[in-house]
Structure 1
Amino acid sequence: MKQSLPLLLAISLFILPASGQAKAPSYDASVPKPTLSEVAYGSHTRQTLDFWKAESSEPTPLVFVIHGGGWQGGTKERLNRFADPNALLKAGISVVAINYRLISHALEEKVKPPVHAPLHDAARAGGAVRDDAGAATRLLLLDE
């Protein structure tokens, strides 16, 4: 037993740091894989969006999802808590879900008032989607 103690300690040095790392958010298994994922619309790590393209040879309507959390928390991976991407895609409606800077990031960046950061990010993501959507003319904004 005395000889195995150093081995156990050595192994724990590798296991403990790995177990303490935060797991990246992921979509529920029922959510299909995005057509495009982690598309940057800004320079901050949270300024990303995921896009699901509905099958169509024509431009499709688009649902633009801003996750809930009162600008304080949450991620785009919460999409299926209030929207059904499978039903939307089946109905010929494309979907975008965005992440944005939270109030805590705005405070670190000294944005005044702090709510400007997530609001600006949502508008910026919407503009990026609109610019890339081409002829799409129908847009629905969803917020949890």
Structure 2
Amino acid sequence: MEMAAYLTPAAREVMALVSQKVHIVENGSACHQYEIFGFFSATRRELTVCSRRIVGFGSPDRDINETLMHESVHVAQACRGDFRYLRAFGVKSSAMPLSAAKAADLRKVLAFDSRLAQIDREAFYMENKPGLVAYVVRKYCF
């Protein structure tokens, strides 16, 4: 795994938890179909990190970790929805302030599918908080 070289100890811990519930794929088919850094399919139970794209276009030390955390939040949301759908945790948007860059990223997601507002706001808010991600994964998946 190319991404393993970039993971922080906290991200490795989250990856170990998540890999007990879903299959983690690096540079899977979604990476070739869309211009994305990561993707999660609840029905396939598959988390994808597009490490080649991140290394080529992003900041790997930051973006690989944040992508894994972001998609891991979706895993916890899928656990909450019994892997039939992603179910938001129900945190008020006002309690999850986003930086200008993360707000812009959320707007891109919403332009694709506006139904993802709460789900992706939670993921963008938590993606740089690995302790919180580990907490929600443990809470909803175990």
User: TM over 0.5, yes or no?
Assistant: no
Name which one, 1 or 2, has greater alpha-carbon Rg: 1
**TM-score (norm. length: structure 1):** 0.32
More helix by share: 2
**TM-score (norm. length: structure 2):** 0.33
